[in-house]
Amino acid sequence: NAGVTQTPKFRILKIGQSMTLQCTQDMNHNYMYWYRQDPGMGLKLIYYSVGAGITDKGEVPNGYNVSRSTTEDFPLRLELAAPSQTSVYFCASSSAPSTARGEQYFGPGTRLTVT
Amino acid sequence: ELKVEQNPLFLSMQEGKNYTIYCNYSTTSDRLYWYRQDPGKSLESLFVLLSNGAVKQEGRLMASLDTKARLSTLHITAAVHDLSATYFCAVAGGTYKYIFGTGTRLKVLA
């Protein structure tokens, strides 16, 4: 059981470039999330999705876009990369937070550097 | 707006000692989660606390939830080096979101 997978694991971008971070989960979770974690800090929510075709902004959405065409996949798009987007990006999924356990399962992360 | 605060932010302790990490949150929630993050790694779930008075234990770690006080504690008993990590609490902020605390970086000294 793979859980939540993310690609790539590492990436270096030049300022102004764009890229897509991939996230896939095989647990049939409706809820998926993208977080960023800056060095020594906690997690900040970028975007989340409650099901295919439904996405919404989190705390820090500027400079990012998402889509959710399937239950399994939740890619994060960075447009016009800036040094401030240097961070570690985690994708997570969960069953509905209001039912059952609702804990999140995290992917291994993508370490992104923008120079 | 739901805010989650953890203290201490950093904790250095000797092996064999006991200590408690605190997680306070600002608005009503009956679901609280504890996660562990090793350096350079992802987060893994430790405990899920779903009701007032809930207590969960795993090895040397015990977590509890007091929803009336809006407080959760993570108690470490007889710490060992392998417990060195960053610990996060997260509170369910409504139907869809989780709000994370700032994390407590624990270092257990041999």
- The parts of chain A modelled with pLDDT lower than 50 are none
Please determine, for residue B1, whether its predicted confidence score (pLDDT) is greater than 70: yes
d(CA A2, CA B38): 20
Least Cα separation, residue B42 to chain A (angstroms)? 5
Q: What is the model's pLDDT at position A98?
A: 63
Judge: B97–A102 Cβ closer than 8 Å, yes or no.
no
Confidence of residue B96 (pLDDT cuts 50, 70, 90): confident
Determine, for residues B45 and A103 on separate chains, whether the beta-carbon distance falls below 8 Å.
yes
Q: Using the predicted structure, report yes or no on whether residue B47 has a pLDDT greater than 80.
A: yes
Dihedrals φ, ψ of A32, to 5°?
Answer: -135, 150
Contacts of B31 in chain A (CB under 8 A): 97, 102
Contact residues, chain B, for A104 at CB < 8 Å: 33, 35, 43, 45, 90, 98
B48 inside 8 A of chain A by CB:
yes
| pLDDT for B110 | 85
What number is the average pLDDT over the span B75-103?
A: 90
- B85-99 burial code (b ≥16 CB/10 A, e <16): bbbbbbbbbeebbbb
Mean pLDDT along residues B58-65: 96
Residue among A103, A104, A105, A110 with most chain B CBs within 10 A, to mutate: A103
User: Tell me, what's the pLDDT at A39?
Assistant: 86
